[in-house]
Structure 1
């Protein structure tokens, strides 16, 4: 079972567009208190229905102009942003993670009877899959040598990395067979609460914070319009 933390609840509230508990005024409106409780219940429900699974593999890489070649495979990813991220890396981690189809099923069912509950469960699931990846990264860090460091996690759809890069990652990791991960024709992950990503193994300490500049929603982001960040 995943331990539900206040940080996770705050992140889900941000997804929904509500203030975190820490930012609420002393005279909290009942609606805000109720939402906080509903989010906490959403995480508890996810603990019952989610089947978190994560797989990863380390591969050697070669960098060419605006291209990352995955050695020992027939795959390469055309991306200036990814090449920049991996500039100090000779190896990288390929990762895939999912919460399983039951989460998608329950979100879909709730959309038909209670849209608010569906939105809350969707937000909680987004936070949870990110937490699953964070925990996998923590395990990977334990295996690194003294002068090795991880870069930030970079997924297809970040910056100029094409969504179709997920296809190569799933195939190389045997993601369909091992964790039931697949893609639609438009390269959306199925189950939807899933992640594919690459993480560089660098020879120097890297800035592991995701930046707004690497996000495809930077021009329309509701958080940035309010002068905030999503925190993810």
Structure 2
């Protein structure tokens, strides 16, 4: 079921074309490019192996730009800490679609099939993002049914949360390669089509105060691809 839902989102032609650089409302490409897109979309189910693992860690406090976890861990990031300040639990997760798609992209590159590599790489990015979006949404729906809420999700390397914080995040899982993902010396993830991150679980009665805060509204980096709200709103 999870793979089917991921594929449905990844195969959305409008979303794919925008990810490939088309402007909203300009949903047409050349016939040759559309054939290339259709070919790789048909092959996508054989190239992804979605995996996601998560753990729930009680939050002891959020102060001075840091999240202090009950297991002794610390996440350092002022915007992250402010966003999760009212949470009582932090959901840590790592997700991947595996290494097969990445290997196919490399084969395309080696054969100078750069357009194919570009389309397939974009499909992979959409697939792993869809996996994480659906996981986050499922928790939002579950918590709402219990009178609770969830915060925005953050990933190391975005906003003001340093990518080096990957180490602390991966430490929460107590295993070397959660979901089969390995951290490199520079704190990048392998397989490359992987996403890690956190979001907060908010107690009943305070979810409104958290939902109203979005650091993107106060950020001046207007060209950020990860922006989740217009500046000044």
Provide TM-score, normalisation by structure 2: 0.79
Q: Which stretches in structure 2 are left out of the alignment for 5+ residues?
A: none
The aligned counterpart of 2:131 is 132
* 1:50 and 1:99 in contact (8 A); partners too: yes
Aligned 8 A contact 1:96 1:175 in 2? no
Whole-angstrom CA distance in 2 between matches of 1:126 and 1:90: 31
TM-score, normalization: structure 1? 0.80
Deviation at 1:134, TM superposition (A): 1.5
Query: Aligned pair 1:16/2:15, yes or no?
Result: no
CA distance in 2, matches of 1:116, 1:212: 35
CA shift, 1:92, in A, is 1.5
Conserved in 1, the CA contact under 8 Å of 2:94 and 2:178?
no
Instruction: Mark the CA change 1:90 to 1:79 in structure 2 (over 3 Å): closer, same or farther.
Output: same
What is the rounded CA distance, in whole Å, between the counterparts of 1:223 and 1:140 in structure 2?
21
Q: Residue in 1 aligned with 2:197?
A: 197
Secondary structure of the structure 1 residue equivalent to 2:207: coil
User: In the alignment, what sits opposite 1:55?
Assistant: 53
1:49 shift after superposition: 1.2
**Consecutive unaligned residues in structure 1, runs of 5 or more:** none
Query: What is the aligned partner in structure 1 of residue 149 from structure 2?
Result: 149
Are residues 1:172 and 2:172 paired?
yes
Secondary structure of the structure 2 residue equivalent to 1:152: coil
With over 3 angstroms needed to count, the CA separation of the structure-2 counterparts of 1:139 and 1:158, relative to structure 1, is same
8 Å contact kept, 2:54–2:92: yes
Q: Secondary structure at the match of 2:121?
A: helix
Q: Are the counterparts in 2 of residues 152 and 210 from structure 1 also a CA contact under 8 Å?
A: no
Look up the match of 2:97: 99
Contact 1:39–1:120 (8 Å) recurs in 2: yes
- RMSD in angstroms over aligned alpha carbons? 3.0
- In structure 2, relative to structure 1, the CA distance for the partners of 1:40 and 1:85 (3 Å cut) is farther
Deviations 1:111-136 (A, max 9, x none): 11211111111111111101101121
Displacement, 1:209? 7.4
User: Residue 181 of structure 1 aligns with which residue?
Assistant: 181
Map residues 68-79 of structure 1 onto 2, 5 A cutoff: 68-72=67-71, 74-79=72-77
Change beyond 3 A, Cα 1:163–1:36: same
